[in-house]
């Protein structure tokens, strides 16, 4: 029987465990809502490196090493390291994976890269091609700001709909063998949806239609209602984007209010003034690998639908007047 | 799913807006304070260096304010001020200093030539180019009027 359900969803009949996770968070994130859930919190943004790019490389290298140590395996036991980040040529991912003698698959879909990695990683494990796949994505406030926006020290005011790029990284180990760990049961590969938003400081509005499309498609493909899940959690829509998703899904006949949340909204507390909330390729990866994974292991959540969201813009595309395409993938994770 | 026009209309209606009154009051207070400091230096230099005429004193004040804007940028404080003050700290000459020094600090790691020197004016460049271009146009108009 085909593993495909409906239009875009794939069901994993073989076990795909999320065997273990490891996280490193920036100082601001450490003071946020999930400080005690992170395995390691940096004391400052640079971590002794000469540039923030080098810091991001070091963070991702260390988070992978920490996960290997926690699992008592080596780089040679892994079939592949998969991952991505926000920078040109996904340099932090490639340069940190350079340190390991492990086959590498680089991924890029902006902030939804973590969803892309989990979906493809789960397919590789379910298909029997690989048995141990490590997925890890990262972002750093200092590196993303300079590539996409303005110099850090420039005294400009953040736009009211803007978000704060998360400094942090996480790593998860997907395996075909496990005991009581959460399993990836199905995944919906999202379409690129663009409803014509051109404002690069309003990425929540750019990504909400893609999240709506992926979530409603997933529910239709799997013949489920939203309350099947304990929580449907998007990647980094922010507060305004989450409201838009709620509105758009309502128009499609899905009431998400009771189950909907967003990693970007959850990561910082209200005092931290991160405008609409966190964003970045590290956002959903860090929040899932820390808070959600640990709470699933404790039994607080049984079934979650993780929907990392991405805004596929560049500085040049915005200057050329292009609208911002959004994408989202839905990963169904159950105990 | 909604079509593009409907969605754009909905977003422009519901999108979070800048709190204008608060922003304007803060900009007025901070901008005013910066200008007051400038005036303070003006009085000080007039008092301390009696041989300087008013043009020389105001040049000295400008240099002092540029220095202070650059210093507080390098200390990582000017961006924190700008986060609250907005236009209040952008419009005075200290803001112009900030827009030149902040990319210089940022691109320090890419080296002196292709880092600092080639990126120093990424923010201030448009202001300088349009300033020079307009002054040329105004100069030509003056020249023509003077000739007639």
For chain A (335 residues), the mean pLDDT of every run of 10, in chain order, is: 92 95 96 95 94 96 96 95 95 96 95 96 96 96 90 88 94 94 96 94 95 96 95 95 95 93 94 87 96 95 96 93 96 95
Contacts with B78 from chain A: Cβ below 8 Å:
153, 155
Copy the structure tokens of residue A118: 């989990």
Give the total number of structural domains in chain B: 1
Across the interface, whether the CB atoms of A276 and B85 are under 8 A apart is answered no
Containing structural domain, residue B114: 23-123
CA distance A51 to chain B (A): 7
A212 phi and psi angles, rounded to 5 deg: -60, -50
Contact B2 A160 (CB under 8 A): no
- pLDDT at site A35: 93
Residues A135, A20 within the same domain: yes
Residues B15 and A199: their CA atoms lie apart, in Å, by 11
CATH code, domain carrying A8: 3.40.47.40
Establish how many alpha carbons lie within 13 A of residue A253's alpha carbon, considering only the half-sphere containing its beta carbon: 5
Residue A192 and residue A114 in one domain: no
Residues in B closer than 8 angstroms to A51, CB to CB, are: 109
b/e code A89-99 from CB counts within 10 Å (16+ = b)? ebebbbbbbee
Q: How far apart are CA B1 and CA A239, in angstroms?
A: 21
From A246, A291, A244, A245, select the one nearest A266 (Cα to Cα). A291
Same structural domain for residues A269 and A314?
A: yes
| Residues A115 and A165 both lie in one domain | yes
Backbone angles phi, psi at B76, to 5 degrees: 75, 25
Which band of pLDDT confidence, cut at 50, 70 and 90, is reported for residue B126? Answer: very high
Whether A228 and A323 share a structural domain: yes
Q: Taking CA atoms, what residue in B is nearest to A195?
A: B4
Q: Which residue has the tokens 């409603």?
A: A216
pLDDT tens per residue across span B3-52? 999 999 999 999 999 889 999 999 999 999 999 999 999 999 999 999 99
Check A161 against B15: CB less than 8 A apart. Answer: yes
Chain-chain contact of A150 with B123 (C-beta, under 8 angstroms): yes
**In which element (H, E) is residue A188 found?**
strand A183-188
Cα separation values, B87 from A150, A245, A291, Å: 16, 33, 39
Asked if B90's CB is within 8 angstroms of A155's CB, the reply is: yes
What is the model's pLDDT at position B39? 96
Indicate if A159 and A223 belong to the same structural domain. no
Give dist(CA A107, CA A327) in Å, integer: 14
CB contacts, 8 Å: A243 with chain B: 14
Query: Is B29 inside a domain boundary?
Result: yes
- The number of C-beta contacts closer than 8 angstroms across A and B is 101
All residues at 6 or more sequence positions from A8 whose CB lies less than 8 Å from its CB, including other chains: A188, A189, A190, A191, A214, A217, A218, A221
CA atoms within 13 A of residue A198's CA, in its CB half-sphere: 9
- Quote the pLDDT of residue A185: 96
For A64, A307, A319, A327, the CA distances from A324, given in Å and listed in that order, are 32, 18, 11, 10
Q: Do B11 and A197 touch (CB under 8 A)?
A: yes
Length of chain A as a residue count:
335
Q: Let me know whether A159 and A296 are in one domain.
A: no
A250 inside 8 A of chain B by CB: no
- The closest of A256, A254, A249, A232 to A305, measured between CA atoms, is A232
- Which of A154, A175, A196 terminates a domain? The answer is A175
At A189 the pLDDT is 97
The total number of structural domains that make up chain A: 2
Q: Which residues in chain B have Cβ-Cβ distances shorter than 8 Å to A198?
A: none
- Is B12 part of any domain? no
- Say if B113 falls within a structural domain: yes
ipTM of the complex in this document = 0.87
* Contact (Cβ atoms closer than 8 angstroms) between residue A174 and residue A123: no
**What pLDDT sits at residue A149?**
85
Q: Looking at beta carbons, which residues of chain B come within 8 Å of A161?
A: 15-16
> From the centroid of its chain, how far is CA B114?
24
Determine how β-strand A17-25 pairs with β-strand A168-175.
antiparallel
* CB contact (8 A) between residue A157 and residue B105: no
Q: Is the pLDDT of residue B148 over 90?
A: no
Q: Which of A175, A208, A234 is the last residue of a domain?
A: A175
- Pair A163, A58 in one domain: yes
Q: What local confidence, expressed as pLDDT, does residue A250 receive?
A: 94
Domain hosting residue A260, numbered range: 183-334
Q: Is the dihedral of CA A153, A154, A159, A160 positive or negative?
A: positive
CB contact under 8 A, A50 and B17: no
Among A175, A198, A215, give the residue marking a domain's end: A175
Whether the Cβ atoms of residue A248 and residue A209 lie closer than 8 Å to each other: yes
DSSP code per residue over A238-301 = HHHHHHHHHHHHHHTT---TTTEEEHHHHHS-GGG--TT-EESHHHHHHHIIIIIHHHHHHTS-
Q: Tell whether B8 is covered by a domain.
A: no
Residue ranges of A 182-201 with Cβ closer than 8 A to chain B = 193, 195-197
Q: Which sign, positive or negative, has the C-alpha torsion A292, A297, A302, A305? A: positive
pLDDT tens digits, A260-274: 999 999 999 988 877
Give yes or no: residues A143 and A212 share one domain: no
Q: For residues A241 and A276, is the Cβ–Cβ distance under 8 A?
A: yes
* Domain annotation covers residue B48: yes
* One domain for residues A160 and A24: yes
Judge whether B49 lies within some domain. Answer: yes
């Amino acid at each position: 029987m085909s593993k495909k359900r409906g239009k875009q969803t794939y069901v994993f009949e073989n076990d795909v465990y999320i065997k273990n996770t490891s996280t490193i968070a920036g100082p601001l994130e450490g003071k946020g809502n999930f400080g005690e859930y992170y395995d390691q919190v940096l004391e400052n943004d640079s971590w002794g490196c000469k540039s923030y790019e080098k810091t991001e490389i070091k963070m991702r290298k260390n988070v992978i090493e920490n996960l290997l140590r926690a699992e008592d395996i080596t780089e040679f036991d892994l079939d592949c390291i998969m991952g991505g980040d926000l920078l040109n040529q996904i340099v932090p991912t490639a340069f940190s994976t350079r340190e390991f003698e492990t086959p590498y698959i680089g991924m890029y879909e902006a902030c939804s890269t973590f969803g892309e990695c989990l979906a493809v990683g789960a397919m590789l494990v379910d298909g029997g091609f690989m048995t141990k796949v490590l997925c890890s994505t990262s972002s750093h406030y200092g590196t993303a700001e300079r590539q996409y926006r303005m110099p850090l020290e420039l005294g400009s005011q953040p736009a009211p709909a803007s978000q704060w790029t998360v400094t942090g990284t996480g790593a998860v180990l997907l395996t075909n063998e496990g005991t009581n760990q959460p399993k990836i049961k199905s995944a919906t590969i999202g379409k690129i949806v663009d409803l014509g938003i051109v404002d690069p400081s309003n990425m929540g509005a750019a990504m909400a239609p893609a999240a709506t499309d992926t979530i409603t498609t997933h529910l239709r493909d799997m013949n489920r209602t939203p309350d099947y899940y304990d929580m449907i959690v998007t990647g980094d829509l922010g507060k305004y984007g989450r409201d838009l998703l709620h509105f758009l899904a309502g128009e499609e006949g899905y009431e998400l209010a009771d189950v909907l949340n967003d990693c970007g909204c959850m990561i910082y507390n209200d005092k931290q003034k991160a405008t609409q909330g966190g964003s970045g390729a590290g956002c959903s990866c860090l929040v899932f690998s820390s808070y959600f994974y640990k709470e699933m292991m404790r039994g607080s959540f049984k079934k979650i639908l993780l929907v990392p969201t991405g805004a596929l813009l560049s500085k040049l595309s915005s200057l050329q007047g292009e609208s911002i395409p959004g994408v989202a993938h839905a990963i169904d994770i159950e105990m | 799913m909604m079509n593009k026009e409907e969605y754009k209309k909905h977003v422009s209606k519901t999108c979070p807006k800048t709190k204008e009154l608060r922003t304007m009051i803060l900009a007025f207070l901070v901008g005013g304070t910066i200008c007051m400091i400038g005036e303070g230096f003006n009085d000080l230099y007039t008092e301390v260096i009696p041989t300087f005429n008013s043009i020389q004193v105001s040049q000295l004040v400008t240099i002092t304010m540029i220095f202070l804007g650059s210093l507080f940028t390098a200390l990582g404080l000017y961006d924190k001020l700008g986060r609250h003050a907005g236009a209040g700290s952008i419009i005075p000459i200290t803001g112009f200093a900030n827009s030149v020094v902040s990319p210089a600090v940022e691109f320090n790691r890419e080296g002196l030539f292709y880092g600092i020197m080639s990126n120093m004016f990424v923010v201030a460049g448009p202001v300088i180019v349009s300033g020079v271009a307009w002054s040329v146009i105004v100069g030509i108009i003056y020249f023509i009027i003077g000739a007639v």
